[in-house]
Structure 1
């Protein structure tokens, strides 16, 4: 007798959403979770999506403590010495200062003498500029000349050079070269006596006129030979000492005007 096989009951198809909502899924094993993570990383890598940071929030929170543990004190830290080369910047050479009067560089001996005479006379005219007749007649101290008498004295010195221009050019020393005080004071008084009647305005006009004559006389003398214009020559000496003489009296008048506020 043939045994009769029992028919197997067909299995019911399991619905995808057979697990009711709100129920927890079965915990997967660590091996399964690791396999799933590996697949996810592989897919992201192929798709070019950057992987998430592996560190969790707990790891981030632990970072400050980890960093704090690595901080060392300044005592433990070795001192660092910065060694560097010092750059030397070459300073530009300063240009040589230009001469106060560059026109003298290539000037002849004659031109230098005339130039100094003009400069000194300009200083004198500046010292007496603006003086009133009353102030010009006031003595500049006990036993001293007034500004008007100084002007008369300067006129006589220019006149003396006009008189002895010819003789000094031929090598004869000026007549007053070796005269010293008190003889020089007597000589000045004698030369100034014929002009003492001149008032301030007339004295100034004569000062300009006589100096103009002296400059014309000096201009007429040739530049050559050069030794004629040197301080060692009688003619050259006579003109070389004149600028210093003008400046001496200009300074005296300036000091007096400052003291008197005139």
Structure 2
């Protein structure tokens, strides 16, 4: 049995993702998003997707291209700004949204990848996150068609004081899509600074993880201490090169010669 996990193209890497699949997709804003794999999914015409990701890109980039094409049924996210089409679909009842605190979302993915069914956290106690009632899907007339359900709340003593904690279920998905700076043929990955963001957690949560890498190296070329995600979590690797387009959500500059 070979440990070579490379595939020849992004199209081949996502060829078996079916309609209705659940996906965990790495990225934060437009940083570290697996755009080549997203484009390959768009080209295939896969739809009715349920996607877990920090956000949904922007109107013409990232997961926003799948959203604009009507391919996403539900988003589980912690940030929904920067995307007018997201707002339109959500408020019109076309898109379901499970809004989740950012740290909780990260831990739900990590727990799912670690085999932990659920965990307790103080985040969300005393709010609709715990008490239920957050609109997840609107009806065409603007009423709430689907609302979040109440979650179990338990009291624990921490450092001699009693505190309430809300029970959060772990997240696992059918597939995970991530972007890495480099990887080897065994699936070991190295991410570039903040582009690491949610990617290792998404990779762990997906039953099948597909990684696009800018540079593919041979086994043994990566310093084991530099590996951010071991290959045990990665099933397919596709090299996309270093000249891929990388966008910035908001570019702020100052005029030449100004100070401060």
TM-score category (smaller protein): under 0.3
Task: Kindly name which structure, 1 or 2, has the bigger radius of gyration based on alpha carbons.
Answer: 1
Higher-RCO chain (CA-CA 8 Å, sequence separation at least 6)? 1
- The structure in which a higher percent of residues are helix is 1
TM-score scaled by structure 1? Answer: 0.20
- The structure in which a higher percent of residues are strand is 2
